[in-house]
Every structure is written in structure tokens, then in C-alpha cells.
A and B are shown apart, each in its own frame.
Chain A
């Protein structure tokens, strides 16, 4: 098998492979910077919690309208936002910290979602919601994913500076009268939106994978917010491309294949990335003059 046949032919030959690749590109563009900001804000697990929180909304959408993209996405969006807002409110009004309130509300949401799916859907439907089907992305889904990526980039351009300052020095933002709380909720909305975009392709279980793994990888390659975000998007897209090929050639489910490739990149980066990796720690280069 020559290189062209292995790496390019599948996309030339099959429309579903091209669609899946475009979906991956759009997801990568949105999820890259959002994931990096989640990591910098020490909210890596909040992404995870929110991805589970989306489930009951999607399930209720499924109950109402069957396998309808619009209704399931709207349901997922509403459920995710409700969990984000309730957790945020509890954290800001009571002494409880946000990680604890997020855990509480996402567990409630997840149990509700599983309950709905278990009592109202067949196993096949459950598999779709949990694992997604990036190889069956239709026009409507593609449009949704691309729109969310576009909206994400525009929103980040507007609130990016405030997000960075709120994360690095919240006291300063408060002192200069910056919009801390508003920016925080705008950001959580972006996280939920990108998870909704991801769950059609990768399912609620793994949508967060394309957001967090590349962001975690970027830490070992870059050291400024902009380069971290660019690295993260690039790693996400490369994982999507390689994962699709892997799933095509080895006849594996595409979602887990994509996430596992990203996971592989993460392991390699931990061991041998240029910044702070195990390699840099245990094989130090000679120190400098000054």
C-alpha cells in the first residue's frame, strides 16, 4: 500500500470521510483555545463534568423528537448551561468551591440522563448519545459544528483579555472594575457549546477528549497563551485526521480512535516534549553562563 492510498485516498473516495475530516477541523479550531483556557483556569475536570451534564438534555430532546439534531443539541445546550449556572451560583453565593458544586450538579444531571435513556430509548440510541457517530455527520450537523467554531473564535476575541486577566490576577480585574463574573459565565457557555458540537461527532462520553487532551499536550510544547491555543488546535486536528485513518484502515470505531491518538500524543509529549517533560527533567542539558 503506497502513501497516497494510505493517507489521502480514503478522503478522496468517500464523502463521509471528507465530512468527518471537516467536522474534526471545525471542532479543533473551537476546542483548542477553549481547552487551553480551561487548563489555565484549573478547570480541566469542569469540562468533564459539563460533558456529562449535557446528557439529560440530549436525551429529553431525543424523547421529544427522535434522532433530531436541532432538538437534541438545544436540549444538551440547555442542560449544560443549567448545570454551569447553578454550580457557578452556588460557588459565588455560598462558601462552597466551584469544583464541589460542579460535581454535585453534574452527577444529578448525569443520573437523570441515564434514567431517561434507560426508560425511553433502546440500547442503540444510548450508544449513539454516548459515543456519537462522526462517520455519519450530515449537512445540518456540519453546519452546527462550523457555526459553533466561528462563534467561539469571535467571542474569545472579545472576552479573551478579560479571561486571561481573571485567571492570572482576579484581584486586579476586580480592582480596575473589569467584568469578572460576566466573563466567567460567557466562557462556561462557550465550553458547553463546544461540548454540544463535539457530542454529535464523538458522543457525550468523549466530546471532552478533543478539548482537554490537546490542551494538556500543548503545555509541553508552548509557553504563551496564544501559542498554547494554536498548538492545541493543531494537535486536535492532527489527532482527528490520524484517528479517522486508523478507524478506516483498522475498522475501529472512529470516536475512540481519535481520542486514543490524542492520548498517544499526550504520552509522547509527557515523555519527550521540549518544555518540562520527563526527558527535560532527567536528561538535563549543560547549564548556561548566565
Chain B
């Protein structure tokens, strides 16, 4: 097979159709929940299967709502903006990037990890005083490069995945060896094309190698958060992937977060509980 270059991937990205409107809205309304609800509701209403799913979940017994929830707007209020937003993001992006069937891609597992990393990132960001919503989005999309490469370059990526399984080593190691670049670089180029905020693009780019220019800094940034969130999500086994492999923790990033044992441990039950709720929606 002819080798793949980063230039070719960047050209692929330039030729991708534009992002579904609802995803663009979600990204733009990141930090403005009140404006976001209307736009999210409008976006969902245009999509029959998403609308039906949101209503089905909102009407399930666990929300304890006595009357029937009939409007998307109410469903978003009940389920939470962020939870419905991630459902929509996952569903839309999965439809946008549909890997060929022979890739045996499991979207559920992919998003279980994405949502896990998003929830970990949000909890960590709150703890260290960074923007929790930007952290959530960055966590949700940190592996978007994997999904893109699976879809746009299935032959090359099948080789990467086979080698990873064979050698039971980290994905980025095989990617750098066989492709010459990794999913973090490809994902960041895509995030940039989608006009995500710069700090999110940076966090996607650096989630396996955070803070290259901040070795001596004491202040954490979003890339530190997403790096640790990805590791924590794997450590908590949130994707339930039998082959999951916890990446090695960057010592400087960890030091910048400055979390002690009791603080970290106190975050875990909330993360696991929220994860269950978000994923129930994904499966509904």
C-alpha cells in the first residue's frame, strides 16, 4: 500500500462536506446554555430519530415526570442541556463519519469513552478553575481523528488497528510508525476546520503530549485536563473495552493539576453515575 501522508489527510479534510448545522450550533453555544437550548431544540426537531429518542428518554420513569413530555424543549430541560447536547453530537458525528462495515467499528464503545473523557474533563476543570464546558466538548471530541481516519482512510487505518492489536501497544505509537502522524494531529486539523475554539483544537492536538512549552509552568491548561481525563476514563474502564490500555500519565501535566488523593477520589462516584445516565440515553 502506498504510504499515507499528513498532507493527504489535510486535503481530505478540506474536501469534507460541511458539518451538520446542529453540530455547528452546539459548538457555538458551548458557553451560552440559555441561547443554546432554543437552537438545540430547533436542530433536534429537524431530525426525526433524534427527536423521538430525546422524548423517549425524557418520558422514561426515572425522571419522575408525572405528565407526558411532548416538546423537545422540555425534554432538554429535564435531561439537561449537556446530556442532550452530547447525544446529538455523538449521533450527528457518527452519521457524518460512518466507517465502512468491514472496519468492525463499534460506535457505542467509541462514544462511551468520549462521554467518559468529557465527564472526567468537566469534573477536573471545575476542580482547578478552568472552563468546564469547553473541557467537556474537548473531552467528547478528543479522539475525533480516529473516527475520521477510520472513515476517510479505512485501508491504512485497518493496518494500524491490526498492528495495535497484534502488539498490544498504544495507538499513537503504531500511528506514528505506520502513518508518520497520529490521530491527535489529524483530529486537531479537523477541529480547526470545524472552527472549534483554539484552546479546544490545542487540547485535541496535545492530548497525548500536553504542555510541550509549559514544562516549568505551574498553571494547568485545557490540554492538561484532556490528557488526564482521557487516562482517567480508561482507568475507570468506562468504555468497557476489553483491550483498553491506559496511556502513560504525563508527570508535568499531572503536577500542574495538583490534585491530591482525596480530591481525586471524591470526583469518581459522580463521574461514574453521570456516565451511566448519559450512556443510557446513547443506547435508548
Q: Is this pair of chains taken from one and the same complex?
A: no
Give me the interface of B with A, judged by CB distance under 8 Å. none
Give me the interface of A with B, judged by CB distance under 8 Å. none
